[in-house]
Structure 1
């Protein structure tokens, strides 16, 4: 549909302006709805090491520092993989916590969590000034402290699985959307 722009004498909004505002509101609503998948429990899927059942971590992870670069290498391998709600593999796509589960699963045999809030429970707080490559960054995108997450990769950037229709991507921490929603950094490294 083509919207013709015109100017009224009384300063009323032009049809093209209303259309742009409507599109912007629809896009923002879609982004919020898509990010909801990150904080929700995924569709029922067995996790690694738990045939037919969900994985429930029993203790905090404290991996050795020498695994940081292996985590980053694994994470960077799947940049541009499509977002899929509940996804946790390169073949099936990723949501934000599924990306983390897959990446960490490649460097440890430990039982791993699935949701963003579970990842927060098994990781340790990191002061923002001490943020290191391989640490997790959490965002409040839906009214919850841990509704979205990614992996910090250095140079002020993190990798995450953003939303429906998107792909796993590298984004700057000072991105206007994420900078306002950043809640904390956490680490699974001792």
Structure 2
């Protein structure tokens, strides 16, 4: 029991160090990779980041790296920026807009409606994962990063972090997976 609690706690504490400070400003893909390496995030999350880099297209890799740049940003209901904080759908919207230029709807249920349903077994980094956390379908969203993990803005008092969707809490609330279509018929998960 202690191990189950300790691992996520240590992971979230370590990940909180990954958010860029105001002095660091906006960073590009290569700069973000270097920043994450310097802060030890890449070594801690090695398997899912390696998976994102090697098994998916450049767009998905950029998207996952962009999302990782927001680790540690505080949750804020209705929030849609790193400066003020994010809620779940605000994080997803910001990541997609900044990394691939796709503007998604604002709410999680609207994001589900605007994307292509896929089977859980088809998940690739960059896909969206939806959960029923408020007694209604598609009330929470995150971005799949690989190896059964997703990045999201969980709740008030918490920060953007990576969690394992195979733990009981997320498994019982899983609503479905979606793939985001991009201009030209491409998707974020395309190779």
What range describes the TM-score normalised by the shorter chain of this pair? 0.5 to 0.7
| Residue 133 of structure 1: aligned partner | 125
| Residue number among 94, 107, 110 corresponding to 1:118 in the alignment | 110
Separation in structure 2 between the aligned mates of residue 188 and residue 148 of structure 1, nearest angstrom: 16
Separation in structure 2 between the aligned mates of residue 164 and residue 109 of structure 1, nearest angstrom: 28
Question: Is residue 186 of structure 1 aligned with residue 178 of structure 2?
Answer: yes
CA contact (8 A) 2:92 2:142 kept: yes
| Residue 148 of structure 1: aligned partner | 140
Query: What's the TM-score once normalised by structure 1's chain length?
Result: 0.64
| Residue 158 of structure 1: aligned partner | 150
Matches within 5 A, 1:76-87: 76-87=68-79
| Rg comparison, structure with higher value | 1
| Residue 31 of structure 1: aligned partner | none
| Residue 46 of structure 1: aligned partner | none
Matches within 5 A, 1:81-100: 81-100=73-92
The alignment partner of 1:74 has SS state of helix
Query: What's the TM-score once normalised by structure 2's chain length?
Result: 0.63
Q: Where do 4+ consecutive residues of structure 1 move more than 2 Å?
A: 107-112
Separation in structure 2 between the aligned mates of residue 99 and residue 124 of structure 1, nearest angstrom: 19
Query: 1:152 Cα deviation (Å)?
Result: 0.5
Q: RMSD in angstroms over aligned alpha carbons?
A: 1.5
Separation in structure 1 between the aligned mates of residue 73 and residue 142 of structure 2, nearest angstrom: 14
Change over 3 Å in CA distance of 1:160–1:66 after alignment to 2: same
| Residue number among 71, 77, 86 corresponding to 2:63 in the alignment | 71
The alignment partner of 2:93 has SS state of helix
Could you list the per-position Cα deviations for residues 104-147 of structure 1 after superposition, in whole angstroms to 9, with x for gaps in the alignment? Answer: 01124444310001101211011111110010000011121110
Separation in structure 2 between the aligned mates of residue 74 and residue 107 of structure 1, nearest angstrom: 6
